[in-house]
């Protein structure tokens, strides 16, 4: 992959851009295996899930910079000035095709981009998610409600120009913090969730829902998890940190009970909506709760965990180690915390692992392992 922005020093995010893709992937596999070897010496590795080396991102987190009449959509440089990255080679083509109309809309609205060093301005980010069906969810991250009516009034024209946009919201983010969003979300369209079809499962993404950035590799991740679940043939599956239900819905099958646990009420509502639209999924239930402390019934034969970078931590690891579950599937975005958590579950042996390359051109690595119980809980 070649990038003029990288070559000119305007954006250095793709730190592996000069490394051939096969070598990137081999290096990632080697590092993951080295980190896990002390706690999983007999781990059998499946061939990694490859990604397109470019045009793989299904979402854009565009910092709005520049001026009210001439905005930039991309990132900020070290001095807080906007760098326009609408032509970044990582975005899916259908996603990138929306940027021109969105840029022109921002320019017409005349909203002052948020100036980070000066701590003034109104429009902070445009967040855009693209589905395999070619539809989009667009979020305007604003500092206040001051220009909300102007944004709302512009939505019909935006939908005329971009009929593939299904969901538009305004997120209010008044604080000067290095986070993407605030606590208040205001719907600007009647539809509030974006259907995201992955394989034969259609998820429902709300504005604040987490979904993997690489749809191709996410599909491989869910297929692998489904294969491992089906091979284990559990009667009851728990999906902890379930988000919008990706693992849970792929694990669902006739005669099987699947329960998902997630702290986000919005994500649980979206997951329940996906179940309602899939009457043949079997018995699938989603509950709002903390994955590390919530106990649901019935007890699981298999547990899927997909925690954030901090991992599952000692309490949940101890519970899983002593639980009745015969298998655990652990999907991790941080191999260091994965290794720590595996060491805390001596009754569960990591038997199979696979690397999923969600972010080519970067060192970031996702890995999923299948654990099998080797000792009966006391």
Contact 48, 167 (CB under 8 A): no
Q: What is the pLDDT of residue 378?
A: 56
Contact 145, 184 (CB under 8 A): no
Q: What is the pLDDT of residue 375?
A: 67
**What are 345-367's pLDDT values in tens digits?**
999 999 999 999 999 999 999 99
Q: Rounded to two decimals, what is the model's pTM?
A: 0.94
Sheet holding 327-332, edge to edge: 44-45, 348-356, 366-373, 327-332, 302-305, 236-240, 257-262, 283-288
Q: What is the pLDDT of residue 215?
A: 97
Contact 170, 207 (CB under 8 A): no
C-alpha atoms less than 13 angstroms from C-alpha of 95 in its C-beta half-sphere: 28
Contact 298, 277 (CB under 8 A): no
- The separation between CA 309 and the C-alpha centre of its own chain, rounded to angstroms, equals 12
Q: What is the pLDDT of residue 280?
A: 74
CB atoms within 10 A of CB 326: 16
Q: Is 11 a catalytic residue?
A: no
**What are 196-226's pLDDT values in tens digits?**
999 899 999 999 998 999 999 999 999 999 9
The terminus-to-terminus CA distance of the chain in angstroms comes to: 53
Taken in order of first residue, the domains within the chain and their CATH numbers are 4-53+210-373 (3.40.50.150), 59-192 (2.40.50.1070)
CB atoms within 10 A of CB 320: 25
Cβ-Cβ contacts under 8 Å for 279 (sequence gap 6 or more)? none
- The separation between CA 197 and the C-alpha centre of its own chain, rounded to angstroms, equals 14
Q: Measured between alpha carbons, how far is 318 from 45 in angstroms, rounded to an integer?
A: 25
Q: Tens digit of pLDDT per residue, the chain (378 long)?
A: 899 999 999 999 999 999 999 999 999 999 999 999 999 999 999 999 999 999 999 999 999 999 998 999 999 998 999 999 999 999 999 999 999 999 999 999 999 999 999 899 999 999 999 999 999 999 999 999 999 999 999 999 999 999 999 999 999 999 988 888 999 999 999 999 999 999 899 999 999 998 999 999 999 999 999 999 999 999 999 999 999 999 999 999 999 999 999 999 999 999 999 988 776 777 999 999 998 888 788 899 999 999 999 999 999 999 999 999 999 999 999 999 999 999 999 999 999 999 999 999 999 999 999 999 996 765
Q: Which helix (H) or strand (E) holds 321?
A: helix 313-322
> 14, 88, 242, 333: which is the annotated catalytic residue?
333
Name the H helices within 131-264. Answer: 148-161, 215-232, 246-251
Query: Which residue's structure tokens are 């000792």?
Result: 375
């Amino acid at each position: 992959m070649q990038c003029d922005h990288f070559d000119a020093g305007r954006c250095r995010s793709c730190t592996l851009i000069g490394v051939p893709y096969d070598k990137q992937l081999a290096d990632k596999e080697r590092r993951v295996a080295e980190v896990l070897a002390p706690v999983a010496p007999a781990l059998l590795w499946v061939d990694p899930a490859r990604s397109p080396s470019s045009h793989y991102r299904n979402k854009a987190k565009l910092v709005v910079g520049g001026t009210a009449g001439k905005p930039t959509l991309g990132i900020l440089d070290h001095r807080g000035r906007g760098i326009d990255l609408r032509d970044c080679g990582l975005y899916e083509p259908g996603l990138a095709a929306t940027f021109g109309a969105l840029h022109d809309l921002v320019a017409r609205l005349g909203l002052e981009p948020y100036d980070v060093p000066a701590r003034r301005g109104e429009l902070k980010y445009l967040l855009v998610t693209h589905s395999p069906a070619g539809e989009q969810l667009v979020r305007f991250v604003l500092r206040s409600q001051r220009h909300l009516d102007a944004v709302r009034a512009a939505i019909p024209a935006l939908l005329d120009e971009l009929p593939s946009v299904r969901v538009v919201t305004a997120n209010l983010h008044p604080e000067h913090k290095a986070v993407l969003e605030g606590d208040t979300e205001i719907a600007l369209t009647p539809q509030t969730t974006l259907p995201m079809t992955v394989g034969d499962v259609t998820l429902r993404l709300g504005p604040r829902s987490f979904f993997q950035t690489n749809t191709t590799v996410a599909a491989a991740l869910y297929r692998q998890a489904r294969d491992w679940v089906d091979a284990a043939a559990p009667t009851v599956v728990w999906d902890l940190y379930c988000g919008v239900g990706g693992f849970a819905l792929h694990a669902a099958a006739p005669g099987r009970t699947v329960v998902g646990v997630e702290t986000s009420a919005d994500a649980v509502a979206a997951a329940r909506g996906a179940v309602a639209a899939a009457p043949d999924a079997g018995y699938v239930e989603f509950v709002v709760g903390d994955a590390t402390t919530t106990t649901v019934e019935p007890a699981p034969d298999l547990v899927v965990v997909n925690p954030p970078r901090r991992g599952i931590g000692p309490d949940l690891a101890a519970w899983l180690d002593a639980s009745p579950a015969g298998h655990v599937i652990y999907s991790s975005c941080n191999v260091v915390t994965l290794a720590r958590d595996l060491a805390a579950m001596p009754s569960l042996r990591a038997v199979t692992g696979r690397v999923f390359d969600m972010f080519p051109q970067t060192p970031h690595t996702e890995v999923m392992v299948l654990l099998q119980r080797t000792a009966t809980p006391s």
